[in-house]
Structures are given as C-alpha cells and as structure tokens.
C-alpha cells in the first residue's frame, strides 16, 4: 500500500527503472506528491464531489459541506435536506449519489472497510453498485483513499492527455489505449498516475488531480 511520501518516492525510482521513457516525464513533472486521502466515508464523499469539477471547486464545495454536515455520519448525510446540499454547492446528481452512498452504508450493503481490504476489481464492483458512482470514482477512492499501489484511472482526461504527450500516444489518446499503456507500469500504476497528474500540472499550469480527502476544519476554539 502507498501510505507515505517515502512510498511514492521509492515507487517512482522503481518506476523509472522499469520504464526509462518516464525519466524525462519525471524531470518535467518535478515533485510527485502523495495526496493522501482516507478510506472512510468522508474520503469517498470527497471523491464523489471531485467528479467533473476543478480541484479548486471541489475543495470549496467540500469545505462548505463539511461545515454543514458531519461527513463521517451516514445518517446525517442521508437526512441532509436538498437546501443544505445545494447550499454546499452539490449538484442534484451528486446530492443523490451522496444520499445513496450513505443509505447503502446505513443498510449494511456497503462496508468501506471490506472495500479497502478487497482485491481491486471486487472493490470496484462494490462501489459502482451505488447509483452515481462510476469506475473513475471507484478507482480514485482506491488510489488515494485506500492507498492501493496498482490503480490507474485511464478514463481521467488529464491522465489521458499527460500520457499521450509523455509517451507519444498523441494529444488525446483513447481510454483503452491509455489503459493498455499503463499495463507496462504494473505493479506501480498508482505511482504512475500521480506522476502523470504532476506532469500535466507542469505542462499546462493547472492541477487536475482530484481532491483526495475532506478539508480539516478548525476546532471550536479556533473558530
């Protein structure tokens, strides 16, 4: 599992040794951050919020949502009113997904601890069974929240662009082509994903990696 920046740094050295084409990618990318998430409900909610919005927008929405609702409480999320979720900035679709997720946990249909311990494809199947959670969300939760070492969300547009430029697949290769290319980086695909998000940010001056976890709110004495 990838738990620390040291894990990422060691993995990156192994990755470049495994595929020397990545040495110039790493040189352009600069530091490859861990971006730690959490394998629990708040971490998965953060990944849902990060779907199809910029990193800055996701962080802002998460900050407002965490101030209004206890993200660790499935019952509170399920009971949150439409007005509360709209106030936080959630779209109607994401509000439904968050409620469906909380309801599945409340009914015992989804056990995030079991998801974290399961093989990747089994974990992905459990997550995508929740309405509104697709493969990208499931893969990003496993990559950042669980810390699985061998996940590559090939459907992510920024990763597709970065891989296309980095290894000569063209400006915007198809998801299938990127997934195939990523097989060369197994069992270190999660490090490769972090590398290519960093490469994309260096090339385009825009951080497109998803927000990996909920904001840390100040304690009562600091508010």
CATH number of the domain residue 190 falls in = 1.10.1670.40
Same structural domain for residues 113 and 166? no
Identify the band that residue 212 occupies on the pLDDT scale cut at 50, 70 and 90: confident
Do 154 and 179 fall into the same domain?
yes
Q: And the tokens for 62?
A: 């998460």
Q: What is the mean pLDDT of residues 34-53?
A: 93
121 and 91, same domain (yes or no): yes
* pTM reported for the whole predicted model: 0.92
Final residue of a structural domain among 110, 140, 170: 140
Indicate if 54 and 136 belong to the same structural domain.
yes
Predicted confidence (pLDDT) at residue 193 exceeds the cutoff of 90: yes
Q: Which of 219, 216, 214, 217 minimizes the C-alpha distance to 38?
A: 214
Mean pLDDT for the stretch of residues 159-188: 97
Dihedral angle of Cα 187, 208, 161, 123, to the nearest 10 degrees: 40
- Asked if residue 159 is part of any domain, the answer here is yes
Mean pLDDT of the chain, nearest integer? 93
d(CA 119, CA 20): 29
Do 105 and 154 belong to one domain?
Answer: no
Range of the domain at 95: 41-140
Under the banding of pLDDT at 50, 70 and 90, the label for residue 170 is very high
Instruction: Clarify whether residues 58 and 11 are in a common domain.
Output: no
Please report, in angstroms and rounded to a whole number, the separation of the first and last CA atoms in the chain. 36
CA–CA separation, 169 and 146 (whole Å): 30
């Amino acid at each position: 599992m990838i738990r620390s920046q040291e894990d990422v740094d060691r993995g990156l050295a192994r990755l470049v040794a495994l595929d020397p084409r990545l040495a110039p990618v790493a040189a352009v990318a600069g530091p490859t951050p861990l971006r730690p998430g959490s394998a629990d409900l708040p971490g998965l909610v953060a990944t849902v919020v990060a779907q199809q919005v910029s990193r800055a927008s996701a962080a802002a929405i998460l900050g407002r949502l965490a101030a209004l609702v206890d993200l660790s409480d499935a019952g509170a999320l399920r009971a949150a009113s439409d007005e509360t979720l709209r106030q936080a900035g959630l779209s109607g679709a994401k509000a439904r997904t968050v409620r469906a997720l909380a309801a599945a946990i409340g009914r015992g249909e989804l056990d995030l601890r079991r998801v974290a311990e399961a093989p990747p494809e089994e974990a992905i199947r459990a997550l995508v069974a929740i309405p509104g959670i697709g493969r990208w969300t499931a893969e990003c939760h496993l990559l950042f929240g669980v810390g699985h070492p061998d996940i590559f969300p090939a459907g992510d547009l920024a990763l597709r662009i970065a891989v296309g430029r980095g290894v000569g697949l063209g400006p915007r290769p198809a998801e299938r082509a990127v997934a195939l290319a990523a097989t060369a980086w197994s069992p270190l695909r999660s490090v490769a994903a972090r590398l290519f998000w960093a490469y994309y940010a260096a090339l385009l001056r825009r951080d497109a990696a998803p927000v990996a976890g909920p904001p840390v709110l100040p304690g009562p004495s600091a508010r």
